[in-house]
Amino acid sequence: MQLGVCYYPEHWPESQWANDARRMREIGLTRVRIGEFAWSRIEPEPGRFDWVWLDRAIETLHAAGLGVILGTPTATPPKWLVDSMPDMIAVDRDGRPRRFGSRRHYCFSHAGYRKQSARITRAVAERYGHHPAVVAWQTDNEYGCHDTVQSFSPAALAAFWVWLAERYGDVAALNRAWGNVFWSQEYRSFDEIDLPNLTVTEANPAHWLAFRRFASDEVVRFNQIQVDILRALSPGRDITHNFMGFFTEFDHHDVAQSLDAVGWDSYPLGFLESFRFSEEDRLRYARQGHPDIAAFHHDLYRGCMRGGRWWVLEQQPGPVNWARHNPAPLDGMVRLWTLEALAHGAELVSYFRWRQAPFAQEQLHAGLLRPDDAPAPAYAEAAQAAEDIAAIGPMSAAAKSVALIFSYDSDWITTIQPQGAGLSALWAAFDAYCALRQLGLNVDILPANAPLEGYAMCVVPCLPVVPDELLAHLAAFEGPVVIGPRSGSRTADFAIPDGLPPGAIFPAKVVRVESLRPGLVHPGQGWAVRRWIEHLETDAAAELVADDGTVACWRSGNRRYLAAWPEPDILAPVLQSAAREAGVDTVALPEGLRLRRTASHVFAFNYAPTPVAIPDGIGGRLVLGEKLIPPAGIAVLTL
């Protein structure tokens, strides 16, 4: 695994560049990511390019022996470009243009901007496509950040009509598929269809689902244009993009198809504060991040591509600037996060950013260096991580163990029509992932069409649309399969399927579903049905039954069906039983401890605020750390 750093030479006097490059190498960094917001410096006036500074910056980094990951600057089109075609601006759900003054102020569907995006990409690629320093390209930056996938602009509307016509052929088919007879929503032509925002009450969920698919496809199309140019003009370089955390607005499986390596940006503390974690977890892990945040995304994005190549393009190095509260990580966490990525198979971890900028929006975002050029705490931790990686040496890949199925349309469907406040397939997947990892298991998060050979068990936390490939793969799969609620509950056009859910994935009919407010529970022995319950007609066996007779889990052959929302206390016994049947060893991990096993090594990470011992039974020889692991500590054993 290589280490790298995000660097903005345009922010600093040229006199600092050589010294910066030297220090990067000194602490073991070999990659440097640059360029992704520099459009106004590359092309300060329409058509006038200034390559001089960038030529010199790349030369300087190259001279120091750093490989450059070069970003296309399309996330930040300059003001002169916006003023030349003001309707390139995206429109928010309330109908307001999202103006220049920060970033991502463009609409994916605007043909004019797509041309400009291709033009600047071509210009940069022509200049540096064959440069020996350039080892990879990043397209744009964090597609969708700041809620920018969906645009409710005239450009989006026109493109949506084309997309609908392609998908449905004729409008009668669309009316049928969406059930538009309901509420006289029938259309006579595609161009009668509006975008689904600003309706009196909720729009048809099939309308929303189509719009979200369309919006996702627009991201795919936008990205593909850059990829095609880069492949043509810069052969032999990897192409990547930096995905975000807990983000499902576009189908990452689709975008990943065009990439050589999936990148993502890992901010465990910011995510803990910003996403759906309990107040208790937010305090306990305030300085470590919840122990499964980074790992979940490592395993999710590794699964996006068949080859499984993936990079951390931005790694949190200290306090960030964008959460409601921004504490510093515990000493050691930056190193821990780096090695957790290593354990999950990353090829690269790149810290964001080299030096804290003293100006503009992110001036309170830490870097490896302070604004005054002195080392920030992460500087030494990055150096330590480089040494650790060397000390650990060559490593075998992880063996297949548990396959967890996640699809992006699952999350679209559950959030379009949650039926119970806050229910979502993404968080069902995350909770199932946590439950598996608390048992000490390795998990691969896979798309719904992925082959399952070689896995010991399979978990499908919540998959409303079950593709035929999955049914075929499951038919051939002999290990235990755990299927969560709402699976098989919708057609691809957001209707309840004939014959009722869940369809062929489990021999039952879901005849009624209920969502339950907090506090409305069906208690069992050490667990309870919460949030969601499904009533089944089935010949399957009731495996987990609440005190009042409510069935939380059904069993038929090697398959289990969870009729309750997959909360941790229900998942624990079900997954434990399934793992036992799968012949997979589990371990009762102390709170905050997490393992990751490769064929050659076992990694143990302590996210708890107190020292934790590796449980007996985890064998191997310590090559790093001790059995009693301090907070933010790591131990590595060889088998």
Q: Of residues 376-435, which lie at the interface with a copy of itself (CB under 8 A)?
A: 376-377, 417, 419-421
Measure the CA–CA gap between 624 and 632, rounded to whole angstroms. Answer: 14
Please report where in the chains the tokens 């016994």 appear, as a residue. Answer: 573
Segment lying near a copy of itself (by CB under 8 A), choices 121-129, 352-360, 404-412, 580-588: 352-360
Does position 372 interact with a copy of itself (CB under 8 A)? The reply is yes
SS3 605: strand
Does position 167 interact with a copy of itself (CB under 8 A)? The reply is no
Measure the CA–CA gap between 379 and 614, rounded to whole angstroms. Answer: 28
What's the chain's length in residues?
Answer: 639
Name the minimum Å distance from CB 210 to a copy of itself.
12
Does position 162 interact with a copy of itself (CB under 8 A)? The reply is no
Name the minimum Å distance from CB 250 to a copy of itself.
17
Measure the CA–CA gap between 71 and 240, rounded to whole angstroms. Answer: 9
Does position 79 interact with a copy of itself (CB under 8 A)? The reply is yes
Q: Are strands 481-483 and 508-515 parallel, antiparallel or unpaired?
A: unpaired
User: Which position among 7, 17, 100, 264 is part of the footprint of a copy of itself (CB under 8 A)?
Assistant: 100
Whichever of 321 and 396 has its CB closer to a copy of itself, that residue is 321
Token pair listed for 393: 């040496």
Give the relative orientation of helices 111-128 and 52-63 as an angle to the nearest 10 degrees.
Answer: 50
The pattern of x and - marking residues 476 through 515 that bind a copy of itself according to CB under 8 A reads ------------------xxxxxxx--------x-xxxxx
Measure the CA–CA gap between 13 and 56, rounded to whole angstroms. Answer: 12
Does position 364 interact with a copy of itself (CB under 8 A)? The reply is yes
User: Which position among 115, 119, 130, 146 is part of the footprint of a copy of itself (CB under 8 A)?
Assistant: 146
Segment lying near a copy of itself (by CB under 8 A), choices 56-64, 174-182, 598-606, 614-622: 174-182
Asked if residues 332 and 381 have their Cβ atoms less than 8 Å apart, the reply is yes
Does position 530 interact with a copy of itself (CB under 8 A)? The reply is no
Segment lying near a copy of itself (by CB under 8 A), choices 8-16, 305-313, 333-341, 434-442: 8-16
CA 391 distance to own-chain centroid = 30
Token pair listed for 553: 């889990």
Segment lying near a copy of itself (by CB under 8 A), choices 221-229, 336-344, 374-382, 432-440: 374-382
Does position 326 interact with a copy of itself (CB under 8 A)? The reply is yes
Measure the CA–CA gap between 135 and 70, rounded to whole angstroms. Answer: 8
**Catalytic residue list:** 142, 314
Whichever of 9 and 566 has its CB closer to a copy of itself, that residue is 9
Residue 516 has phi, psi (to 5 degrees) of -120, 130
Whichever of 192 and 478 has its CB closer to a copy of itself, that residue is 192
User: Which position among 94, 539, 548, 616 is part of the footprint of a copy of itself (CB under 8 A)?
Assistant: 94
Segment lying near a copy of itself (by CB under 8 A), choices 313-321, 400-408, 426-434, 572-580: 313-321
For the segment 37-56, give every residue that binds a copy of itself (CB under 8 A). Answer: 37-41, 44-45
Does position 119 interact with a copy of itself (CB under 8 A)? The reply is no
Q: Are strands 634-638 and 621-624 parallel, antiparallel or unpaired?
A: antiparallel
Read off the amino acid at residue 583: G
Read off the amino acid at residue 547: D
For the segment 282-311, give every residue that binds a copy of itself (CB under 8 A). Answer: 282-283, 286
Does position 475 interact with a copy of itself (CB under 8 A)? The reply is no
Could you tell me how many residues of this chain bind a copy of itself (CB under 8 A)? 108
Q: Where are the beta strands (DSSP E) in 287-338?
A: 310-315
Torsion of CA 365, 367, 369, 375, to 10 degrees: 100
Token pair listed for 120: 């600047």
